[in-house]
Amino acid sequence: MKKQTLVVIGGVAAGMSAAAKAKRENPDLLVKVYERGQHVAYGQCGLPYYLAGYLDQADETVVRTPQAFREQGVEVNLFHEALSLDPAAKTVKIQNRLKAVVETVAYDFLVIATGADPVTPKLPGIHLKGVSSLKTIPDAETINRFLVDSSVEQVVLVGGGYINAEMAEAAIARGKKLRLIQRPSQVLNHMDEPFGKAAGLELEKHGILLHLRETVESLEGDGRVNTVITDQSRYPADLVIFALGIRPNTDWLKSSGLSMMQNGAIRVNAYGRTNLDHIYAAGDCASVYHRVMKKETYLPLGTTANKQGRLAGAAIAGNPQPFGGIVGTSIVKVMDKTFGKTGLSAKEAQAEGLSFKTVTVNGHTHAGSYPGSKEMTLQLVYESYTRRLLGAQLMGPVEGAKRLDVLTLAIHNEMTVDDLALSDLSYAPPYATVWDVVQVAANAAK
Ligand code: FAD
């Protein structure tokens, strides 16, 4: 019998998870990965910490090499870019960038895992040297050349989401002077205002100049950037990093008949299947089901990309398992503090038209009888009538961060604040207070 072929487009988190899982579960499948770049299976999450100097090489973020995949029987083709899809013929046109030839590749199953690229505004000067975004290993290597150059003093971060919050730590670790410019009135705009404000104060405490409600209009320089011009002023700049969000890499699929969300994310069901037969999508180029909002959403994160890719691979290998969806959990270290969010923020609950209440408490990472206890703040969002937990946000020291995962599970399993208050959480003085901060908040929920 002719062997079936799985073609995977895109080779980072979702694509390589799908390829490896499908091959493991069905060794008879021919698995071919096509990646337009030069690396596969690396953790973009580690790139800011390479830039801080905590890793020697950017490619230390590679989790598994192409050679290791080939030894598993997965064919890996680097520098190959998919150009178009013909679902009727079950083929993909792929450009081999090394040989500048276009190949037509046939599939029995297709996984689209092309991720998302940073949004780059079309501003005058955007192509000057020293203006970059951070996504790939080559991006990180380019930025690093500037960060290790002692003549580079002024770094401007445009956008105050989690990537630039992490870049702030990196640039400060490299001894640079920093300013952060953005249009929204708070950094970490996905969180409620008190948390965004606290994150801003944490940046300012480390000497970073914040320019909120300000818009970058152009960049100037003589080949290399030297000035950022906004609607309010001009600022010196030797390195400018834009992090203004991302867009799914699905333009090449526009005429394929695939159903997409408004932003271009491919709609998938719980098994990663699209509306077209034998075609799956996973990761940052795909939608995901949100368990609290009870609808599809776009929330691109590495954690989800790995799961969606793995489940698509399993389904193709003949072992389908549905993905129950996300609750929207994310965490970021802003200088010395951790900011985490799971479920809905108050502003999201409001936008969803839910009837909800919030409660905010300050508690401690562990008992005062053991050295090193630190304060942390926790906010719960819960439904007024059912008292079901809808969301939680925390800020505090790194040691308190994993409270977020307790809350994630509580939201995932639709627990009420009352269930949470009486849960059998662990206690001994080095680890928690006798009523853990999570339970202190749940008890305070009236
Ligand atoms: P991608 O990683 O975008 O990979 C898609 C691949 O497809 C790319 O290599 C691209 O070259 C290739 N491709 C695109 N178009 C084509 C084409 N037409 N033909 C062939 N190949 C193509 N997430 C977290 O959960 N936690 C974190 O702490 C975190 N930190 C991050 C820090 C940074 C700096 C960045 C940039 C991201 C971070 N993320 C984090 C997000 C996480 O890295 C992504 O969600 C994850 O990489 C998505 O994986 P993916 O495989 O769906 O897409």
Q: Which of 300, 39, 64, 40 is nearest to 163 (CA)?
A: 300
State the angle between helix axes of 437-444 and 403-412 in degrees (0 to 180), rounded to the nearest 10. 50
The tokens describing 240, both together, are 């400018």
Q: Rounded to the nearest whole angstrom, what is the distance from the C-alpha of residue 343 to the centroid of ligand 1?
A: 23
Query: Which residues, including other chains, have CB under 8 Å from residue 377's CB and lie 6 or more apart?
Result: 194, 198, 360, 361, 362, 394, 395, 396
CB 353 within 8 A of CB 343: no
Q: Which of 154, 133, 130, 158 is nearest to 231 (CA)?
A: 158
Q: Rounded to the nearest whole angstrom, what is the distance from the C-alpha of residue 118 to the centroid of ligand 1?
A: 10
Q: Rounded to the nearest whole angstrom, what is the distance from the C-alpha of residue 407 to the centroid of ligand 1?
A: 26
From CA 260, how far away is CA 318, in angstroms rounded?
A: 26
Q: Per-residue pLDDT for 177 more than 80? A: yes
Q: Which of 250, 249, 267, 247 is nearest to 259 (CA)?
A: 267
Q: Rounded to the nearest whole angstrom, what is the distance from the C-alpha of residue 400 to the centroid of ligand 1?
A: 28
Query: Could you tell me which residues are beta bridge partners of residue 110?
Result: 7, 279
Report the percentage of the chain scoring pLDDT > 70.
Answer: 100
Sign of torsion, CA 175 177 183 187?
positive
Q: Per-residue pLDDT for 340 more than 80? A: yes
Of the residues 30, 45, 55, 68, only one is catalytic, namely 45
Which residue type does 141 have? E
Best residue among 7, 9, 12, 266 to mutate for probing ligand 1, ranked by most atoms within 8 Å of CB: 12
The tokens describing 321, both together, are 């398992």
> Which atom, in ligand 1's list, is nearest to the CA of 13?
51
Q: Is the CB of 87 under 6 A from ligand 1?
A: no
Q: Rounded to the nearest whole angstrom, what is the distance from the C-alpha of residue 136 to the centroid of ligand 1?
A: 8
Which residue type does 388 have? R
Q: Is the CB of 281 under 6 A from ligand 1?
A: no
Q: Is the CB of 165 under 6 A from ligand 1?
A: no
pLDDT (tens digit per residue) in 272-312: 999 999 999 999 999 999 999 999 999 999 999 999 999 99
pTM over 0.95: yes
**Average pLDDT over the chain, rounded to whole?**
98
Q: How confident is the model at residue 69 (pLDDT cuts 50, 70, 90)?
A: very high
pLDDT (tens digit per residue) in 385-430: 999 999 999 999 999 999 999 999 999 999 999 999 999 999 999 9
What percentage of the chain's residues is helix, strand, coil (to nearest 5)? 25, 30, 45
Alpha helices in 154-293 (DSSP H): 162-173, 193-205
Q: What pLDDT was estimated at residue 24? A: 98
Q: Is the CB of 48 under 6 A from ligand 1?
A: yes
> Which atom, in ligand 1's list, is nearest to the CA of 284?
52
Q: How confident is the model at residue 86 (pLDDT cuts 50, 70, 90)?
A: very high
Q: What pLDDT was estimated at residue 65? A: 97
- Label residues 312-327 b or e (16+ Cβ within 10 Å = b): bbbbbbeeeeebebbb
Q: Is the CB of 159 under 6 A from ligand 1?
A: no
**299, burial (CB in 10 Å: exposed 0-12, middle 13-18, buried 19+):** middle
Q: Is the CB of 14 under 6 A from ligand 1?
A: yes
From CA 114, how far away is CA 14, in angstroms rounded?
A: 9
Q: Is the CB of 9 under 6 A from ligand 1?
A: yes
Helix, strand or coil, per DSSP, at residue 293: coil
Query: Which residues, including other chains, have CB under 8 Å from residue 274's CB and lie 6 or more apart?
Result: 112, 258, 259, 266, 267, 268, 280, 281
Which residue type does 276 have? L
From CA 323, how far away is CA 63, in angstroms rounded?
A: 24
Q: Is the CB of 113 under 6 A from ligand 1?
A: yes
Cα angle 263-268-271, degrees, rounded to a multiple of 5: 155
Best residue among 9, 96, 249, 327 to mutate for probing ligand 1, ranked by most atoms within 8 Å of CB: 249
CB 279 within 8 A of CB 300: no
Q: Per-residue pLDDT for 1 more than 80? A: no
CB 247 within 8 A of CB 256: no
From CA 91, how far away is CA 102, in angstroms rounded?
A: 12
Determine whether 45 is an active site residue: yes
Best residue among 102, 301, 339, 341 to mutate for probing ligand 1, ranked by most atoms within 8 Å of CB: 301
- Label residues 241-255 b or e (16+ Cβ within 10 Å = b): bbbbebbbbbebbee
Mean pLDDT within 83-103: 97
Q: What pLDDT was estimated at residue 2? A: 84
Q: Is the CB of 118 under 6 A from ligand 1?
A: no
